[in-house]
Structure 1
Amino acid sequence: MQKGDHLFLVDGSAYIFRAYHALPPLTRKSDGLPIGAVSGFCNMLWKLVEESRETSVGVAPTHFAVIFDHSSTTFRNALYDQYKANRQAPPEDLVPQFAVIREAVRAFDLPCVEKQGFEADDLIATYTRLAVEAGGDVTIVSSDKDLMQLVGPGVILYDQMKDKRLGPQEVFEKFGVYPEKMIDLQALVGDSSDNVPGVPGIGPKTAADLLGAYGTLENLLENAGEIKQAKRRESILAHAEQARLSKRLVTLDQHTPLEVGLDDLFIHEPDGEKLVAFLKAMEFTSLTRRVTAKLGTDASAVEAAQVDVTAPARGPDLDPGGTPGGEKTGSHLAMTPAAHAAERLQAEAATPVDRSTYETVRDEARLEHWIARARETGVVAFDVETTSLDAMRADLVGLSLAVAPGEAAYVPIAHVGEGGGDLLSDEAAREGVGAQIPLGTVLDLLKPLLEDPAILKVAQNAKYDYLVMRRHGVETAPLDDTMLISYVLDASSSLEGHGMDELSERFLGHKPISFKELCGSGRTLKPIAAVAIERVSEYAAEDADVTLRLWRVLKPRLAAEGLAHVYERLERPLVPVLARMEERGIRTDRQILSRLSGRFAQKAAGLEADIHILAGEPFNVGSPKQLGEILFGKLGLPGGKKTKTGQWATDARLLEDLAAEGHDLPRRIVDWRQLTKLKGTYTDALPTYMDAEDRIHTSYSMASTTTGRLSSSEPNLQNIPVRTEEGRAIRTAFVAPAGHKLLSADYSQIELRLLAHMAEIPQLTEAFRQGIDIHAMTASEMFGVPVEGMPSDVRRRAKAINFGIVYGISAFGLAAQLSIPREEAGAYIKRYFERFPGIRDYMDRVKLFCRRTGHVETLFGRRAHYPDIGSSNPQVRAAVERAAINAPIQGSAADIIRRAMVRMEEALAAERLSARMLLQVHDELVFEVPDDEVEATIPVVRRVMERAADPVVELAVPLVVDARAAANWDEAH
């Protein structure tokens, strides 16, 4: 190597983990070999090599090498036996890809370098020193802060994922010190991922301030007694030798013995046939096309190579990087969010959002350019702009694409110009806004991209975008959803939400343009199609840009925090399933609803008359103020308390408690409220949701509950009461079309079964295994009553206790439910725990685990976060503890039905059955089935639902599904 030459050194270990976490799991079709990391690695490497030759990342390289860690101990372990002692094992599906990735490097005809006893960073440091001494320049392709100590004259770090170069000034802006002091800074801060101890209580900012004041670590340690802050001074004095040890651990060895000389790293054009043979063996069709087009190789004349996938699976350093910064994807594997999340996420989103870089695409050529860019990157974020929040009624106004941070575009399709209203067919109005590509042309061009399995699509609340595009004839896949990724990472009731604006401010420190800012609100609200395209372009392209940035920040955390399996098994595959269910809707009978509205109105009027008689005077029953005056001011009922406004409280809980104590007026008011609510919410409102075919399309939210349960809205079909006469009457309005039946399949006592399994209760477990009436068995255990001939009221009490225990019911609540004295209810609960002591042990274990970690887990690894578990307020703490105890049970039930839904369509198709899944209501699935397929469909549905936990969880109790088919929902349930 000589003066003017340029050496590229790729941190191969970081590449592996970035590649692994960048894409969803991928397997080779021919034999099921995991190849997701190999695919990402090859795409990144090809992009880097081609871009570097075209000098888009500086001077084209004359020398090039990919450096890997060797999975063995190094000289640092001799210095400190706890060095990297906390490293986790690599994911199982990544292990077989290590050897294949090294084969990939050789297929590119690039040097593949590693050395036993040394880390990749030491090899990079040594090659860097030799290149600089020879007069050359060096580009280190990595974002690892450990390598920043090498930055200097002629040496930069290049973060390919962000297209960002880090020289001395950028290092200073990031950490407050120049590269020559990075070693001292790291020695003070330490690194939890590498188990480098550092000095407790010293973070990056404090370390930078101290080095600014004292110059060097050694000078700081020698003069630590002068530090004014007592706590800081004492920590540094007490851990001076620990800091010196840390410095030796983080200092890279720039004199590592090399087996591959610097001059042997000379770069040359790859052997086209060799590379194509490897890519064909891996079944990388898209990349093969790009490579053959560039190299002029005839792919049809090349046989797929025989790649040895049984070679020793040496893995890279599992956690390169770490604090401070921890930018490498792999660094998250040993980092806890509680310790480093804010710092790490800020580092991942370093580049500020600049709306001036966005493009408005007005012709086919530019759209084709953006499509080509998406194919080059392999990942594209997209977002649709429409006329409605209802995906079933929304028309496309435009859509946006983002292929890299800051590289985004908006494609206007149906803008009508300011003052044009929402008339998308108003050609005169559309002419005034400039050129727009016709909808059909946009769809024709984008459909191959959005349906290409080799290109990952990313969206925020992807179900909406998927459904809108599906209605336009496009099946978008594969699809990642940043909202769901965030939800899996932290399903906490204390969070504001998982919307894009909230996530952007939380993780990127950026506040996007709001819809209100764009379109106004109230009287000033105007349709997005009537807003100036330039303004919409900023708004829409920013949405796609921010979504892509969020994906880059959040997706790696799934694997780092052990939650990738939750997202990949329970969330991601459910998106298209729910979208298709929403699209189908359920048929509803208008006449039945109309008759019910009349009936409910008459009954409510009768209740109102009774209420006036009991009150002794007429008043507005719907007025909380007047009601409070009657109950507590006039009649003097107990339990009255006033709100901050001075008005009597009349909430449902209070009225139900009074009713349970035998007061008739509160009971009538509770009945009146329930009836008028059913009338207003359902029988009056449901017809307004019907489409032209009398079908109602509810919308399911996947990220709105702490435990993983789905929620339904617009309209909410999950809250129709099933235990009341009126609620069941409403269900009769949901009907099957001619020649079909509605099939309802409902898990029987699933939460009790899961409690028996999770708490390991032998009596309950054996009863479920033998198919014994669990409530009768519980009554027999508690009250000493034989199962045969058991009075119904005794069984009812046991049933209330069984289900109440799952939800942490109190003696007060059980007393109200059973209409018995509180002391008697408390005795029942006490006796229950005495008969089934394992339940109390289980509850104590869950509370202890939650206090330690801040979360609880379902059987499938989903986490429900309860940060207030240690609240000093006893009432708050008790409520959180009850929720935390219930969450693993309710959450596991929710996970099981999600798994059943994901598997259901494929199982039905395999049996050539045309049943269509329409609704999910807690533990129940509702299908529309042709009359002549009912008998064949029921066993398939039962089988899928009852085996939904397999093979992830082996339950100690069987799951049982009750399934019936009828003309309407009530009869089928």
Structure 2
Amino acid sequence: MTRTSSFTGVPAATGWPARWSGSRRPCLTGDAGRAVNNSRGTCPTRRSGSGEDRQAPEVVAVPKALFIDGHSLAYRAFFALPDTLATAEGQPTNAVLGFAQMLLRIIEEEKPDFVAVAFDKGRPEFRLEEYAEYKAQRKPTPDKLKPQIPLIKEFLQALRAAVVEVEGYEGDDVLAALTDLARREGVEAVIVTGDRDALQLVRPGVRAVITVRGISETVTFDSRAVEEKYGVPPERLPDLKGLSGDQSDNLPGVPGVGPKTAVALLKRFGTLDDVLAHAAEVGSERLRRALEEHADDARMCRDLATIRHDVPFEKPPRLEDFRFTGWDEDRLADFLRRLELRSLLRRLGLAEKAAARGRLSPGRSSLVRGRRLVCTREELARAASVLSRAGRIALAVRLDGERPLEAWLKGVAVAADGLPETIYVPVLAGPSRGRPAAGGAGSDLFTGCAGDGPQAAGSPAVSFRDFAEFLGPVLTAAEPAKVAHGVKPFLVWLASRQEWPGRWAPVGADAAGPPVGGLALDTEIGAYLLDPSRSSYGLESLAREFVGEDVVLSPEPPEGWTPPAPGLDWAAERLCLEADITLALADPMRAELEDKDLDGLLEEMEMPLEEVLASMEFCGVGVDAEALKDMSRELGRRIDELASEIYGLAGEEFNINSPRQLGRILFDKLGLPAGRRTATGAYSTKAEVLEELAGSHEIVAKILEHRHLVKLKGTYTDGMAPLINPVTGRLHTVFKQTVTATGRLSSAEPNLQNIPVREEVGRRIRRVFVPAEGCLLLAGDYSQIELRVMAHLSGDPALVEAFRRGEDIHQRTASEVFGVPMDEVTPELRSRAKAVNFGIIYGQTEFGLSRSLGISREEAAAYIRSYLDRYTGVRAYVERVVAEARRCGYVTTLFNRRRYLPELDSSNRTKRQFAERAARNTPIQGTAADIIKMAMVRIWREMRDRGLRARMILQVHDELVFEVPEVEVDVLAAMVRDRMEGVVSLDVPLKVDMKLGPNWCEMRRHTGSSDARAS
């Protein structure tokens, strides 16, 4: 599955159907006559606005009807957007806005000829007469939703979309009757609903679009997709519910019969009636008795779950009654203006018409604020006074520069609860240019400070010294609470300024405390926790998703934009908008985090960690620049030697880095067996292709080495040199907190995670990372943490006991899997067992394991089978976690971090298998990541509180690296080991290896004795 993009907009002018004329949508018809939506691929698929085209033998133009379950979409919209969205008079509008956005997006994507929206009307008496408890457990309609249903119907009237309702019947009954009408007329029908009961209506020529999450994510089902998902064809879904029940509709079903058993029975016998008629043939005595005793209950549940097609319309409907001809511009503009739905007015190109027909009220929109330009000391003082009394403030800053410590600060915007205006301070300050401080860990990196930047003639600007004097105390104080979006670079920048009152100094020092105090929420991190797989955490998309506002944050001003006040250009206005959006996001995002039990992860781990990472980026790590240059020259010489050898073996010179030229040499000239080709028909020369050819010709190994060394030289020895800060002489790598789907940290500029430490060249790269004078590098590395986490999560007794006894787990696995005594395990067997251990964690297939070990797939399959047969707890865990992920759509870590896996429902086998592997390994990898994050926060805080001069400087995989004065080595080593091993209590002990050395390569095991500090 692919994720749905947010509502992407519609043509500015009205009359969509006119725009569609001449471009009738094709309906692809397969051999079996199964209708599939154009350009969507096989269903179910999450909508993304694009997809892979299916090849079809015939393309036939078919009209299309769109039938919508109005109440279902209204409920989805109401709970997807915050109920604080309202007009100036207090009229709630969140359901109206969300409903409109969903419907317009679907209409724009499907381009229907006919549109009808069905609503429930009255009580479904015929169902209640049969079963009084039908849907009895459902909560009443929320008070804030009730008044919005008539407004939604009014919106539909303005849209000229037919509203259909029949007294005593539910919306899906009406949809069934309308779908039958469309099929009789030879019209393709698309049902849009959040109620999966409607899947029973799916037939050839009938698709169902099911809303999944928020207002933008849907899954599309055709007949085959329904059967793939539920195990039975659409028409058998009521039978399935008759047996297994349906909690959402309060249908009991047959006790003890779940969906799996129900599917098996239906596949064996046919219909529900067939199952009940053959109950005596069921093998299980318990199941046979349940079917016989609850046969009437099963039939009742089936009948209640069956959607009625015989709806008694007052007047028989005609399909032509639902023809969609476009909206009524005037009526729709008036409606949207009255409800202050400005984003829709802009999207539909009706803003000017609405303004002409009636002046827009500013309303209560959290994004509509005035602007206050603050330029003088007096204005700064007043702003500080006002902001210090606010309940919460949102901060947005403009830093221009590739790296925080080398950036210019060019403006700060602050929005606050209760303030009608957003404050903009045109502060201008460059990076600190003082000389680097001596003394290494514990010293300020900057002893001087840059002057304020040049001021353009006629432009107001505030000196950073004045900004720090007045607003510094407000921003560093614990109150008011602060919210920001992606604030870490600003924390790093502030820490370099001597004038700033907070720079992570030890408790009791003059600059004690963080650069920004009371930081309650970084909305980028909040959005990441809610969905770590989303492609963007930009404020524009978050504003649409959480507050239903459409904002423009482009580098250039939108057409027709005029400054709201003198001295405010578009850059200033954009910054103010960022502050406005961030403040508006705080409440709905916090509510969703709490609803999903992610608020603890935010408050106790991710927000404190952001401060830790900022301090690590600020400290940086020392680099031996001369050694780096020497290594670069040496690598260059070796690369040149390899190139000469390759040319000699090839018999000519060519561009080794050109896949096309390399393919010609290897496969055309040297005649090596060609593997797969690229999409353009060229030979593939990817690493995995060349590795398979390594034994065919000596040139291949040299090409692989050449390619590897070129990459290392470009990324590290050459790539790191320009990243060394000219003032500090250190490398300030960037730690990324919102990149990986598992919760692991990543790094960039440079990426220190990918240094190949098992190779000599990789170890030499590590050797250039050195401590400051008088310091050493100390590292704490979790031993086999992911295997320990797997032992805890699976509860496998053999694994748990092995870790408790302190055994070599790879040796133990080799003994168990290969059936040899522990003392007879060879290094080769241990290596294979290690590959199996980690292969299980990463969901490695038999093919992947066979490649990594250089063995046959049959042998690899036997290893995996033997492992799972021996470690039955691991097998049960793997099956359990995948099943749970399919049930709820996501997996969690031990600390409740979530990862959504929509691809589990994909009809694409490759995507589905990837999601299954992710379901297995994410709880393990994510829990390990959470553990080291918690350890980082606790160790960092204790170092600060104890006034240690040591600094945490790197986190790579399961390793923490510190720069520590020699006099603090033993104290810090003991503390780090204790905190890392004791950060969480698992069923198995956590073990940390401590190492110490003069650089990141030459590190020896540290036990606490003085001689361990020798290099």
Q: TM-score range by the shorter chain?
A: 0.5 to 0.7
2:411–2:572 Cα contact (<8 Å) kept: no
Structure 1 position 678 matched with structure 2 position 712: yes
Which whole-Å deviations, capped at 9, do the CAs of 1:40-89 have from their partners, x for residues lacking one? xxxxxxxxxxxxxxxxxxxxxxxxxxxxxxxxxxxxxxxxxxxxxxxxxx
Identify if the C-alpha distance between structure 1 residues 961 and 518 changes in structure 2 by more than 3 Å, giving closer, same or farther. farther
747, 751, 770: which is aligned to 2:786? 751
2:88–2:364 Cα contact (<8 Å) kept: no
In the alignment, which residue of structure 1 is the partner of 2:744? Answer: 709
Identify if the C-alpha distance between structure 1 residues 428 and 854 changes in structure 2 by more than 3 Å, giving closer, same or farther. closer
- TM-score when scaled to structure 2? 0.61
Structure 1 position 669 matched with structure 2 position 703: yes
In the alignment, which residue of structure 1 is the partner of 2:428? Answer: 414
Structure 1 position 792 matched with structure 2 position 822: no
CA distance in 1, matches of 2:483, 2:372: 19
125, 140, 145: which is aligned to 1:196? 140
- TM-score when scaled to structure 1? 0.64
CA distance in 2, matches of 1:655, 1:592: 32
Please give the secondary structure, in 1, of the residue aligned with 2:569: helix
454, 466, 469: which is aligned to 1:444? 469
In the alignment, which residue of structure 2 is the partner of 1:806? Answer: 841
Please give the secondary structure, in 2, of the residue aligned with 1:453: coil
In the alignment, which residue of structure 2 is the partner of 1:500? Answer: 539
CA distance in 2, matches of 1:230, 1:499: 38
In the alignment, which residue of structure 2 is the partner of 1:323? Answer: none
CA distance in 1, matches of 2:700, 2:529: 42
In the TM superposition, what is the alpha-carbon distance from 1:869 to its structure 2 partner? 1.4
In the TM superposition, what is the alpha-carbon distance from 1:513 to its structure 2 partner? 4.2
CA distance in 2, matches of 1:959, 1:695: 33
In the TM superposition, what is the alpha-carbon distance from 1:450 to its structure 2 partner? 0.9
CA distance in 2, matches of 1:926, 1:348: 51
In the alignment, which residue of structure 1 is the partner of 2:582? Answer: 547
Please give the secondary structure, in 2, of the residue aligned with 1:573: helix
Structure 1 position 732 matched with structure 2 position 767: yes
656, 663, 688: which is aligned to 1:653? 688
In the TM superposition, what is the alpha-carbon distance from 1:399 to its structure 2 partner? 0.5
Identify if the C-alpha distance between structure 1 residues 186 and 724 changes in structure 2 by more than 3 Å, giving closer, same or farther. farther
In the TM superposition, what is the alpha-carbon distance from 1:340 to its structure 2 partner? 5.6
Please give the secondary structure, in 2, of the residue aligned with 1:744: strand
Aligned residue pairs: how many? 678
CA distance in 1, matches of 2:1001, 2:943: 24
1:854–1:867 Cα contact (<8 Å) kept: yes
CA distance in 2, matches of 1:688, 1:570: 33
In the TM superposition, what is the alpha-carbon distance from 1:608 to its structure 2 partner? 2.4
Identify if the C-alpha distance between structure 1 residues 448 and 164 changes in structure 2 by more than 3 Å, giving closer, same or farther. farther
879, 887, 892: which is aligned to 2:927? 892
824, 837, 840: which is aligned to 2:875? 840
Please give the secondary structure, in 2, of the residue aligned with 1:537: helix
In the alignment, which residue of structure 2 is the partner of 1:968? Answer: 999
Please give the secondary structure, in 2, of the residue aligned with 1:964: strand
CA distance in 1, matches of 2:538, 2:807: 46
In the alignment, which residue of structure 2 is the partner of 1:382? Answer: 395
Please give the secondary structure, in 2, of the residue aligned with 1:166: coil
In the TM superposition, what is the alpha-carbon distance from 1:626 to its structure 2 partner? 0.9
478, 487, 492: which is aligned to 2:518? 478
In the alignment, which residue of structure 1 is the partner of 2:408? Answer: 395
Identify if the C-alpha distance between structure 1 residues 204 and 165 changes in structure 2 by more than 3 Å, giving closer, same or farther. closer
- Residue 815 of structure 1 aligns with an amino acid whose one-letter code is S
In the alignment, which residue of structure 2 is the partner of 1:489? Answer: 530
In the TM superposition, what is the alpha-carbon distance from 1:517 to its structure 2 partner? 2.2
Identify if the C-alpha distance between structure 1 residues 749 and 226 changes in structure 2 by more than 3 Å, giving closer, same or farther. closer
CA distance in 2, matches of 1:226, 1:673: 62
1:407–1:545 Cα contact (<8 Å) kept: no
Please give the secondary structure, in 2, of the residue aligned with 1:959: coil
Which whole-Å deviations, capped at 9, do the CAs of 1:103-147 have from their partners, x for residues lacking one? xxxxxxxxxxxxxxxxxxxxxxxxxxxxxxxxxxxxxxxxxx9xx
- Residue 458 of structure 2 aligns with an amino acid whose one-letter code is G
Identify if the C-alpha distance between structure 1 residues 586 and 193 changes in structure 2 by more than 3 Å, giving closer, same or farther. farther
Larger deviation: 841-850 or 201-210? 201-210
Structure 1 position 357 matched with structure 2 position 392: no
CA distance in 1, matches of 2:378, 2:452: 26
CA distance in 2, matches of 1:497, 1:225: 39
In the TM superposition, what is the alpha-carbon distance from 1:851 to its structure 2 partner? 1.1
Q: CA RMSD of the aligned region, Å?
A: 4.1
Identify if the C-alpha distance between structure 1 residues 501 and 614 changes in structure 2 by more than 3 Å, giving closer, same or farther. farther
2:399–2:490 Cα contact (<8 Å) kept: no
Larger deviation: 700-709 or 563-572? 563-572
- Residue 380 of structure 1 aligns with an amino acid whose one-letter code is I
1:586–1:697 Cα contact (<8 Å) kept: yes
Identify if the C-alpha distance between structure 1 residues 971 and 591 changes in structure 2 by more than 3 Å, giving closer, same or farther. same
907, 915, 920: which is aligned to 1:872? 907
Which whole-Å deviations, capped at 9, do the CAs of 1:444-468 have from their partners, x for residues lacking one? 1111211221211111012122222
Please give the secondary structure, in 1, of the residue aligned with 2:664: helix
In the alignment, which residue of structure 1 is the partner of 2:610? Answer: 575
Identify if the C-alpha distance between structure 1 residues 195 and 968 changes in structure 2 by more than 3 Å, giving closer, same or farther. same
Identify if the C-alpha distance between structure 1 residues 223 and 777 changes in structure 2 by more than 3 Å, giving closer, same or farther. closer
In the TM superposition, what is the alpha-carbon distance from 1:827 to its structure 2 partner? 2.1
1:459–1:465 Cα contact (<8 Å) kept: no
Identify if the C-alpha distance between structure 1 residues 511 and 580 changes in structure 2 by more than 3 Å, giving closer, same or farther. same
Which whole-Å deviations, capped at 9, do the CAs of 1:665-689 have from their partners, x for residues lacking one? 4333222211111111101121211
CA distance in 1, matches of 2:841, 2:456: 59
Identity %: 37
1:357–1:407 Cα contact (<8 Å) kept: yes
CA distance in 2, matches of 1:337, 1:623: 47
In the TM superposition, what is the alpha-carbon distance from 1:227 to its structure 2 partner? 11
Which structure 2 residues correspond to residues 203-218 of structure 1 after superposition, within 5 A? Answer: 208-209=152-153
2:86–2:93 Cα contact (<8 Å) kept: no
Identify if the C-alpha distance between structure 1 residues 578 and 632 changes in structure 2 by more than 3 Å, giving closer, same or farther. same
In the TM superposition, what is the alpha-carbon distance from 1:441 to its structure 2 partner? 1.3
In the TM superposition, what is the alpha-carbon distance from 1:790 to its structure 2 partner? 3.0
In the TM superposition, what is the alpha-carbon distance from 1:831 to its structure 2 partner? 1.8
In the TM superposition, what is the alpha-carbon distance from 1:937 to its structure 2 partner? 1.6
Which whole-Å deviations, capped at 9, do the CAs of 1:327-356 have from their partners, x for residues lacking one? xxxxxxxxx99466679xx99999557677
2:96–2:152 Cα contact (<8 Å) kept: no
Identify if the C-alpha distance between structure 1 residues 172 and 569 changes in structure 2 by more than 3 Å, giving closer, same or farther. closer
In the alignment, which residue of structure 1 is the partner of 2:206? Answer: none
CA distance in 2, matches of 1:225, 1:924: 59
Please give the secondary structure, in 2, of the residue aligned with 1:675: helix
Which structure 2 residues correspond to residues 13-92 of structure 1 after superposition, within 5 A? Answer: none
Identify if the C-alpha distance between structure 1 residues 664 and 959 changes in structure 2 by more than 3 Å, giving closer, same or farther. farther
Identify if the C-alpha distance between structure 1 residues 820 and 174 changes in structure 2 by more than 3 Å, giving closer, same or farther. closer
In the TM superposition, what is the alpha-carbon distance from 1:395 to its structure 2 partner? 2.7
CA distance in 1, matches of 2:850, 2:939: 41
Specify every segment of 5 or more residues in structure 2 that has no aligned partner in the other structure, as ranges. Answer: 1-74, 101-118, 125-133, 158-163, 181-209, 218-339, 344-362, 431-449, 503-514, 560-565, 1005-1015
In the alignment, which residue of structure 2 is the partner of 1:69? Answer: none
Which structure 2 residues correspond to residues 473-622 of structure 1 after superposition, within 5 A? Answer: 473=500, 474=502, 475-479=515-519, 480-492=521-533, 495-510=534-549, 512-514=551-553, 516-517=555-556, 533-622=568-657
Identify if the C-alpha distance between structure 1 residues 583 and 186 changes in structure 2 by more than 3 Å, giving closer, same or farther. farther
